[in-house]
Amino acid sequence: MPQTEGEKETHIRGSIKKKRLPDAETFSQGILSGDIVLLSRAITLIESTLPSHQELAESILEKCLPHSGKSIRVGITGIPGVGKSTFIEAFGNHLLNQGRKIAVLTIDPTSQLSRGSILGDKTRMETLSRSDKAFIRPSPSGDSLGGVARKTRETIFLCEAAGFDTVLVETVGVGQSETAVNSMVDIFLLLLIAGAGDELQGIKRGIMEMADLIAITKADGENLARANRAKAETISAVHFLPSHESGIKTEVRTCSAVTGEGISEIWTEILNFIQAIKDKGYLDKKRKEQAKHWLHESVQSMLLDDFFSKLGDDFQKAEELVTQGLAGSYQTARRLVKHYKHED
């Protein structure tokens, strides 16, 4: 039987009593020396909702932050069926052959029954997961916007402090989480597949506007001709999209995770893009804007958590009045906020 949230919390507390956690200094020194076990445990603390875990995680992050920021951060998304995990495994293995050390953060959809990850990306990247130069961390998306794990940004910092020079962040690929991922990476790679169907065009266009690089996957065998046609069509479509703030044109490539064709070219395009935005001073500007964005997001999240925890039953009663048509949403919200601020 799946555990309830309360049962999980009790289990976590019981585990703490049985095994004392290292202090922040031990964690940070272990992470800086490349200890994967301590890195994994620190990420678990970041994802935990226990106040004691959050406090420890913040201390660890504070110590590791000065050692972060030196990686290339790549966001990867695509519609279901495009083969994101297969691509990431082939792409990751290519990076390992180039001498890179990579972290793959995969954001799984969360099961509404067990609240756990349901895709199991680590089991879908078997060869990559066997390398001691690769770190794969699947995280359940929980209730956060569009399936993006709430603490992914902090996890990136810890991975960088642990010496990973390339961080790949894979999104669920349902059209909602991409904006959040785009606000924590340096380059956003969109994977497309030939013949996806007109029903996906709405999702695809919205994501295409954010994409810095587009790759048509599964360009092999009988699908090669279709992939090349899709590339030509995508290049035409890109001309009608708004220009990026970076001023760099979105490139379109084809690739095959099965044959390996096009994989090295995609890495070359990423390196060229990163160098170009560095030369323009845009990379530094973008990361500063991202830091500001996540400060705002964190404040909003903390205020909402505090708001709902303090109002409790009052909010539930207000919800009932609104759903029954006995009170207006805006007026009720104003009254609740005044009550929260003790102005009533």
Most confident range (mean pLDDT) of 23-32, 137-146, 234-243, 307-316 is 23-32
Using 50, 70 and 90 to split pLDDT, how confident is the model at 7?
A: low
Q: List b or e across 43-61, with b for residues whose CB sees 16 or more CB atoms inside 10 angstroms.
A: bebbbbeeeebeebbebbb
**Distance (Å, rounded) from C-alpha 189 to C-alpha 80?**
15
Tokens of 310: 């303090």
Domain ranges of the chain: 69-280, 291-341
Tokens 């013949």: give the residue: 195
**Distance (Å, rounded) from C-alpha 263 to C-alpha 134?**
18
What 3-state DSSP class applies to 108?
Answer: strand
pLDDT reported for residue 85: 87
Closest-CA residue to 77 (of 206, 164, 165): 206
The total of other beta-carbon atoms located within 10 Å of residue 113's CB is 8
Using 50, 70 and 90 to split pLDDT, how confident is the model at 106?
A: confident
pTM of the shown model: 0.85
pLDDT reported for residue 198: 44
Question: Using an 8 Å Cβ cutoff, are 167 and 103 in contact?
Answer: yes
Question: Using an 8 Å Cβ cutoff, are 9 and 139 in contact?
Answer: no
**Distance (Å, rounded) from C-alpha 60 to C-alpha 154?**
10
Question: Using an 8 Å Cβ cutoff, are 255 and 193 in contact?
Answer: no
pLDDT reported for residue 229: 92
Look at residue 340 and tell me whether its pLDDT is greater than 50. yes
Task: Write out pLDDT tens, residues 47-105.
Answer: 888 989 999 999 999 999 999 999 999 999 887 788 888 999 999 999 999 999 999 99
**Distance (Å, rounded) from C-alpha 32 to C-alpha 158?**
9
Question: Using an 8 Å Cβ cutoff, are 246 and 206 in contact?
Answer: no
Question: Using an 8 Å Cβ cutoff, are 167 and 71 in contact?
Answer: yes
Question: Using an 8 Å Cβ cutoff, are 219 and 254 in contact?
Answer: yes
Cα angle 221, 238, 213; round to 5: 65
Look at residue 304 and tell me whether its pLDDT is greater than 70. yes
pLDDT reported for residue 10: 53
Look at residue 18 and tell me whether its pLDDT is greater than 60. no
pLDDT reported for residue 97: 96
Please indicate whether residue 117 or residue 190 has the higher confidence score (pLDDT).
Answer: 190
Question: Using an 8 Å Cβ cutoff, are 60 and 47 in contact?
Answer: no
The total of other beta-carbon atoms located within 10 Å of residue 287's CB is 15
Mean pLDDT of the chain, nearest integer:
84
Task: Write out pLDDT tens, residues 258-270.
Answer: 999 999 999 999 9
pLDDT reported for residue 119: 44
For residue 208, what are the contacts with CB-CB under 8 A and spacing of at least 6?
Answer: 190, 214, 234, 237, 238, 241, 250
Write the class of the CATH domain 69-280. alpha beta
Using 50, 70 and 90 to split pLDDT, how confident is the model at 39?
A: very high
Look at residue 249 and tell me whether its pLDDT is greater than 80. yes
Look at residue 110 and tell me whether its pLDDT is greater than 50. no
Using 50, 70 and 90 to split pLDDT, how confident is the model at 307?
A: very high
Task: Write out pLDDT tens, residues 147-204.
Answer: 356 688 999 999 999 999 999 998 865 555 777 888 899 999 999 988 765 444 445 6
